[in-house]
Chain A
Amino acid sequence: MDARESSGSAPAQKATRDMYLPPERKKIADGGTAHISAKEFSVYYGEFEAVKRVSADILSKYVTAIIGPSGCGKSTFLRSINRMNDLIPSCHTTGALLFDGQDVYGKFTDEVLLRKKVGMVFQKPNPFPKSIFDNIAYGPRLHGVNDKKKLMEIVERSLKKAAIWDEVCDRLDKNALGLSGGQQQRLCVARTLAVEPEVLLLDEPTSALDPKATAKIEDLIQELRGSYTIMIVTHNMQQASRVSDSTMFFYEGVLVEHASTAQLFTNPKDPMTEDYITGRFS
């Protein structure tokens, strides 16, 4: 079977997705354009092709979920969007990945600027060993905000958005490593939001969280949908269907199916997708 066939071009996809969108989401869809688009995009670790010739459009201001079995290249694909894979010396890419129409791996692309626009929350919470305040203020400071009052505003706003403000507002000067795992994860979300990126890449943001904290992160995604382009990797089918507008299913580096979430979960085109989402899959 040809997995790549199911990921269509942008207009075609818009049509399918719109069909399955709940009515209140439809109006956003009208302005939907490809924010990120992959064309025959492959990622290699040395000789090993971890992401195989993926072609897809990630629409602006939509939530896209990425699902698939462990080791299928979800993280690799996500990390290649903001070029975090540059840190791995053996890693290289072929094909094209466009962000806002510009080649992410182009010769003249400023990866620092790219990462400012494409924020990422990692699978494992990774706060800096600094105070909570300094963690959130790190990004804004980096990008030239030094005014104390303005920083405080940003910190408060970001923490509130990430639904953690109430828990930490009285200990902003305490070290962030003293927070619980779930709090740390939300802190990392807040830290990413503080930079005001256009795209949010979330790599299994709730895998280490209890149901309550998970619900908070999901609420946050609901809140942010429509203002950010969000990509979320998850192993939780319910989560994917709850929070996302469209879903990508990866299998062994191949994008098997990419469709609107409603369609993919109720009426998958590919039998492999069906096997996976119904749990008949090992």
Chain B
Amino acid sequence: MNIGTRKILDRSFTAVGIGSIVVMAVALMIVVVPIITNGIGAVFFTGTVEHRKMLFSEFKRGDSENLSSEVASSDRYRAKVYGMLTGFEAELETMAPEKKAEYKAKYSEVKAALQALLGPFPGDPAPMLTRFKYGQTRWEKAEEKLHDLLYESKWDNSNPDVMAKEYFVSRAIGFQGTSLVKLFPYVKDNMEKLLLPEFTFYWGFITDSSVDSHFFGGIWPEIQGTFFLAVGAMLFAFPLGVVAAVYFTEYARPGFLNSMLRSANSTLAGVPSIVFGMFGLAFFINTLKVSESKSVIAGALTLAIMILPTIIRAAEEAILAVPKTYREASLSLGSTKWNTIATVILPAALPGIITGGIISLGRAAGETAPIIFTAAVSVGSAIGLADVFSSPTPALSWNIYNLASEHEAAAQIRHVQYGMVLALVSIVLMLNLSAIVLRARISKKLKG
């Protein structure tokens, strides 16, 4: 090949390489940036007085004097709103029956929208569900509810050939000529006075339990559950995996059984995680009866089986990568085989073994399918260490799925879901980072 073509080939390869790295970086940005910006919103946001009320009565957090003065100030403005309502109700009584019926239907919609925005009306009986005990706690949600109050949503079905289109009609127009018409501009103009928005740093999102299935509060039970499951899985899988790897590399005689075991191990690494989930249910819960029903221990065991092949493979590779000369040196000094493994081979293989272990730990933390049937519940409080043998736990991976697809009010609490995603991504990222740091440290120590 002549030098010209060779140079062109070299350059085009460089270009392709750089190109693919750029594409990867952009894809990563597209994925990671929304995760971070949305997830941060669960902790840093503009909170309303309702949020502070909620924190005080559900978590006993906040300054009671400050809060009562805030509540008093917002109540002054709210009193006016409620005054308008009672005024209109009195007006309703004076109306002709058909007119009254027509307005009544519209009025109850307005009332519902106001209730969603500001919380239950004074004098109403306290609602059963915590989510109805407070108005909008987040400013951006309050603005959505304001829109609901000001406009009625209608669907345009006039053209059967295209999909129905949503359009909005001002509610104020519907109440033209009544006293209620003043309510709409009043609420719109005094939103800030009514809800007192304030920049909020809600660190409790990490450390609080959830209230009323994630409507309020934080994700500590999920974080703790994820931690228990992942660490529990490691406690089983790591020692077992390293021992198996030592057996495969140091003790097993090459032969039919050995190669069967190895290929079984490789195959296991490729089995879909949902299969492990079913297996966990069938084996650990139904057959072995490690617990009555779902429990942390059953989930951890299932995850352990799932990550075991990866740990074995990583440990095997790491052990095989230890130079043969170390083994020779140790044995020639009169060391036993076992002692050689413990004092020379395993320490030298440690960086690789640990990397494999921590990557598996990240995988155990992130997998959903294996814990669906064995350990996860959608709502629950943080469990104590003593309960891991009997009780199930919420966990980040499963609750993200649950909030996204099965929660009855998924759209209301997107921020919680994003917060969970960010928490999970951070945990996995931190684990991987610690693997890199640990590996670098040990390698440096080994290399001198």
Contact = CB atoms under 8 A, between A and B. Distances in A.
A217 interface: no
Given A128-B344, A129-B448, A174-B448, A112 B336 contact: yes
B133 interface: no
A185 interface: no
B329 A175 contact: no
Interface string B343-383: 11001100000000000000000000000000000000000
B31 to A, nearest CB: 39
A126 interface: yes
Given A129-B348, A129-B448, A176-B448, A122 B333 contact: no
B56 interface: no
B328 A142 contact: no
A12 interface: no
B265 interface: no
B334 interface: yes
A112 B334 contact: yes
Contacts of B324: 87
Contacts of B447: 129, 175, 177
B331 interface: yes
B165 interface: no
B318 to A, nearest CB: 14
Contacts of B344: 128
A195 interface: yes
Interface in A168-188: 174-178, 188
A178 B447 CA distance: 7
A139 B334 contact: yes
A119 B331 CA distance: 10
B330 A138 contact: yes
A46 B330 CA distance: 25
Given A126-B323, A175-B446, A175-B448, A142 B333 contact: yes
B80 to A, nearest CB: 78
B448 A84 contact: no
Interface residues of A, number: 30
Given A129-B348, A176-B448, A195 B329 contact: no
Contacts of B448: 129, 174-178
B5 interface: no
Q: Which of B323, B327, B331, B347 has the most CB of A within 10 A?
A: B331
Contacts of A84: 328, 331-332
Interface in A98-128: 112-113, 115-117, 119-120, 122, 124, 126-128
Given A126-B323, A126-B326, A129-B448, A192 B333 contact: yes
Contacts of B336: 112
B332 A192 contact: yes
A226 to B, nearest CB: 23
B53 to A, nearest CB: 62
B68 interface: no
Given A128-B344, A175-B445, A142 B335 contact: yes
B353 to A, nearest CB: 15
Given A175-B445, A175-B446, A128 B329 contact: yes
B253 to A, nearest CB: 9
A131 to B, nearest CB: 9
Nearest to B331: A115
Given A126-B326, A128-B326, A142-B339, A115 B333 contact: yes
Contacts of A124: 325
Contacts of B333: 115-116, 119, 138-139, 142, 191-192, 195
Interface of A: 82, 84, 87, 89, 112-113, 115-117, 119-120, 122, 124, 126-129, 138-139, 142-143, 174-178, 188, 191-192, 195
22 contacts: A82-B332, A84-B332, A87-B328, A87-B331, A112-B336, A115-B332, A115-B334, A120-B332, A122-B329, A126-B329, A127-B329, A129-B348, A138-B333, A139-B333, A142-B333, A142-B335, A174-B448, A175-B445, A175-B447, A178-B448, A191-B329, A192-B332
